[in-house]
């Protein structure tokens, strides 16, 4: 949710808005301003400035002049992002303007080209259109937007086409989830049902594994991760039951027999699996919404 102070700036400057930030031109540079969500542990506001590519010297000069003022300062591919904490109270509108003025002053001192133009061809047409590209505000001219859209469409299509990709991601997420199985069994043996909460760890580790194996993001990423999650939950529950029985000094052959025919044991395993799936369901739903943003996307921005 965008906070009122930021909305006010957007209205005053005639800016546009994305899902959780506002953006537009201020003294010839394009700024995005947003805030942390209410669910974040720490409250902060952030500014993201789209910049032309800078050389090492200007990057470090800008860094030096800003370093002490912000809790986080990061130069990325074509942008600078800053964060300021709101520990005791929210930052006021005047303070945000002070920051914007300071940034503009630094950019002018460093002779950084203004960005009140098409981000791609740099033309200063009056017909600039405002877009949200991968969640950050940007401006393009009518000609460039067509090629940008085509380019993104191709990227997304290519990611979806690679079949092996998802298999790679699946194995990555399984492999990375294995430590969680061990933890799951340990917790299950000593703390009983708490283990079901481990399904959350599976998703986190699964995601890491997916990325580690450099599987790219596409439309099958989410089902792949959920499938690996389901597999690991079933596996962990069965391993837990086997471990519990083994600790009761039951021989492995008998354990297999119990799992196949003993209704009490089967009921225990199924109950735990159901509980795990109920907890996982919440994880899957929240991740579903988080992952949607991983896709390369562009859409037209609305007036704030």
What whole-number distance in Å separates Cα of residue 180 and Cα of residue 207?
13
Residue closer to Zn ion (CB basis): 129 or 295: 129
Site residues (CB under 5 A) for Zn ion, limited to 67-106: none
Residue closer to Zn ion (CB basis): 33 or 132: 132
Establish if 30 lies at the interface with Zn ion (CB under 5 A).
Answer: no
State the minimum distance, in angstroms, from the CB of residue 144 to Zn ion: 3
CB 224 within 8 A of CB 169: yes
CB 81 within 8 A of CB 74: yes
State the minimum distance, in angstroms, from the CB of residue 151 to Zn ion: 13
Residue closer to Zn ion (CB basis): 123 or 154: 123
CA 144 remoteness from chain centre: 27
State the minimum distance, in angstroms, from the CB of residue 205 to Zn ion: 43
Residue 301 is given by DSSP the state P
Residue closer to Zn ion (CB basis): 144 or 207: 144
State the minimum distance, in angstroms, from the CB of residue 236 to Zn ion: 53
Residue 127, C-beta contacts closer than 8 angstroms, at least 6 positions apart: 141, 142
Helices vs strands, H then E, count in the chain: 9, 10
Site residues (CB under 5 A) for Zn ion, limited to 106-125: 118, 120-121
Residue closer to Zn ion (CB basis): 54 or 141: 141
* Nearest Cα residue to 297 out of 159, 94, 108: 159
User: Residues in contact with Zn ion, total (CB under 5 A)?
Assistant: 5
Residue 215 is given by DSSP the state P
State the minimum distance, in angstroms, from the CB of residue 122 to Zn ion: 7
Residue 214 in 3-state DSSP?
coil
Residue 33 is given by DSSP the state E
Site residues (CB under 5 A) for Zn ion, limited to 5-24: none
Site residues (CB under 5 A) for Zn ion, limited to 141-160: 141, 144
CA 34 remoteness from chain centre: 15
Whole-angstrom CA distances from 66 to 35, 60, 70 are: 19, 10, 7
Residue closer to Zn ion (CB basis): 49 or 118: 118
Piece of the chain touching Zn ion by CB under 5 A; list 30-38, 139-147, 171-179, 252-260: 139-147
Residue 73 in 3-state DSSP?
strand
State the minimum distance, in angstroms, from the CB of residue 208 to Zn ion: 38
Residue closer to Zn ion (CB basis): 128 or 233: 128
Hey, how many other C-beta atoms are within 10 angstroms of the C-beta on 4? 10
Widest CA span in the chain: 80
What is the x/- site pattern for Zn ion, positions 220-259, by CB under 5 A? ----------------------------------------
State the minimum distance, in angstroms, from the CB of residue 51 to Zn ion: 17
Residue 220 in 3-state DSSP?
coil
Residue closer to Zn ion (CB basis): 144 or 185: 144
**Contacting positions for Zn ion (CB under 5 A):** 118, 120-121, 141, 144
């Amino acid at each position: 949710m965008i906070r009122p102070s930021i909305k006010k700036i957007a209205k005053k400057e005639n800016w546009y808005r994305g899902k959780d930030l506002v953006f537009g031109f201020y003294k010839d540079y394009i700024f995005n301003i947003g805030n942390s969500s209410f669910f974040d542990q720490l409250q902060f506001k952030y500014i993201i400035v789209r910049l032309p590519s800078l050389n090492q010297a200007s990057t470090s000069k800008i860094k030096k002049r800003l370093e002490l003022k912000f809790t986080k300062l990061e130069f990325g591919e074509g942008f600078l992002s800053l964060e300021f904490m709101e520990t005791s109270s929210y930052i006021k509108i005047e303070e945000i303007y002070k920051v914007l003025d300071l940034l503009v002053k630094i950019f002018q001192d460093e002779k950084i080209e203004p960005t009140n133009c098409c981000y791609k061809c740099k033309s200063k047409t009056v017909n600039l259109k405002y877009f949200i590209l991968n969640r950050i505000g940007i401006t393009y001219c009518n000609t460039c937007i067509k090629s940008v859209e085509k380019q993104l469409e191709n990227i997304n299509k290519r990611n979806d086409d690679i079949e092996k990709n998802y298999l790679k991601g699946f194995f990555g997420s399984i492999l990375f989830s294995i430590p969680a199985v061990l933890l799951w069994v340990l917790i299950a043996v000593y703390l009983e049902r708490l283990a079901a909460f481990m399904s959350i760890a599976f998703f986190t580790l699964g995601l890491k594994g997916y990325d580690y194996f450099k599987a790219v993001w596409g439309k099958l990423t989410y089902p792949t991760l959920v499938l690996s999650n389901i597999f690991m939950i079933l596996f962990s529950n069965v391993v837990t039951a086997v471990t519990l029985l083994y600790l009761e000094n039951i021989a492995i052959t008998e354990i297999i027999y119990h799992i196949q025919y003993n209704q009490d044991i089967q009921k225990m395993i199924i109950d735990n699996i159901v509980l795990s799936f109920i907890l996982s369901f919440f994880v899957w739903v929240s991740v579903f919404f988080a992952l949607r943003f991983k896709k390369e996307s562009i859409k037209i921005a609305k007036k704030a």
